[in-house]
Homo-oligomer: A and B are copies of this chain.
Amino acid sequence: MVTIVDVAKHAGVAPSTVSYVLTGKRPVSAETRLRVRESIRLLGYHPHAGARALASSRTNVLALVLPLREGVHLPVVMRFVTSVVTAAREHDMDVLLVTADQGAAGLRRVAVGARVDGFLVMDVGLDDERIPVLRELGRPAVLLGYPAAVKGLTCVDLDFGAAGARCVDHLAELGHRSIGFLGAPGVVYARNTGFAQRTLAGFSAAVMRRGIASTALPVEQRRDAVHAVVATLLRELPRMTALVVHNEAVLGWVVDCLRAAGRRVPDDVAVVAICPDELAEQLRLTSVELPSEVLGRRAVELLMAKLNGQQPPPLTLLPPNLSSRTGFAASAAG
């Protein structure tokens, strides 16, 4: 194995100099730096991660804590994971996967065992049990989603409240006066999940403010359930001309069911979705983007800031971004 001593000998310098060339923690003359770099390349030297971690108490690894439970849309998680890994690599960081089922013990294990420098925690609920543990561990952490009290934390999220309101505003400006809302499965609301409740709250406040008629319903991820709930909505809100859908898993079925019920989309019912752009693009629906990539990147950047001793604000909310898609509706079967 090639060690730092080998490189030092080869370049005719001290081991510490090689270290400083690598970390940049102290100035090295251009000439030596070049020579050292060349030796590193020639010998194919890669610093030993463990030795580095031991000596510097920095691992250059961050823990990504994933949910993977009912109601989370897997493609969204994957997009997020990808952007986190990519952004992390740009900061010379690797990503260790911790699944939520490992729970608080898992967090403690990787933190106390000095396996990671910090945490990225996805899918944080309004009263998340992991938060006290994270506080206790005292390791830098960034949360996706946010609990009721954000003091002393660092959280990022889409501004779901604003997203719900944005959909209403858009539809209201188009003249709609009766708007339905289809949300996540009931269990998601029962679980006190921040994003679902905040979207609904934003929607409700906006329709209230404008005096628009509305009905909101949860939707399970089964085709027959979608069929039933769409029927209910059409019955309860007979003059409905627009629909906001915050449930990417059933979005396609909702459109199918509306068409099957004789409603043209978007002519009779304008559908606005809160979902990944890709999906909305595919279904040709106006939508508020679920910016997984931006969120992942931002989360990594906030974590890096904390690792560098900075104190970012407790809550970063990304403004919603509505894309109007008024082209031809893709219609096939159904």
Q: Which residue numbers of A lie inside 8 Å of B, CB to CB?
A: 44, 46-54, 59, 61, 64, 68, 74-75, 77-78, 81-82, 85-86, 89, 94-99, 101-102, 106, 108-110, 112-115, 222-224, 226-227, 253, 256-257, 259-261, 282, 330, 332-334
A298 to B256, CA, bound (A): 40
A46 to B110, CA, bound (A): 9
Partner of A333, one of B96, B260, B330, B332: B260
Q: Is the CB of B113 within 8 A of A49?
A: yes
Interface of A is mostly: helix
- Contacts A85-B97, A97-B64, A334-B260 known; A113 to B46 CB distance under 8 Å? yes
Q: Is the CB of A89 within 8 A of B114?
A: no
With a CB–CB cut-off of 8 A, which chain B residues contact A259?
Answer: 333
Most buried by B among A52, A89, A115: A115
With a CB–CB cut-off of 8 A, which chain B residues contact A261?
Answer: 333
A92 to B94, CA, bound (A): 19
With a CB–CB cut-off of 8 A, which chain B residues contact A49?
Answer: 50, 53, 59, 113-115
Q: Is the CB of B75 within 8 A of A253?
A: no
Most buried by B among A85, A256, A332: A332
**Which residue of B has the minimal Cβ distance to A109?**
B46
- Contacts A51-B54, A101-B86, A333-B260 known; A94 to B96 CB distance under 8 Å? yes
Question: Beyond A224-B332, A227-B332: 5 further Cβ-contacts under 8 Å?
Answer: A48-B53, A49-B53, A50-B51, A54-B54, A223-B333
**Which residue of B has the minimal Cβ distance to A225?**
B332
With a CB–CB cut-off of 8 A, which chain B residues contact A282?
Answer: 222-223
Q: Is the CB of A333 within 8 A of B94?
A: no
- 6 A-B pairs (CB sep. < 8 Å): A49-B113, A49-B115, A94-B115, A222-B282, A253-B333, A260-B334
Distance in angstroms from A259 CB to nearest chain B CB is 7
**Which residue of B has the minimal Cβ distance to A332?**
B227
**Which residue of B has the minimal Cβ distance to A85?**
B99
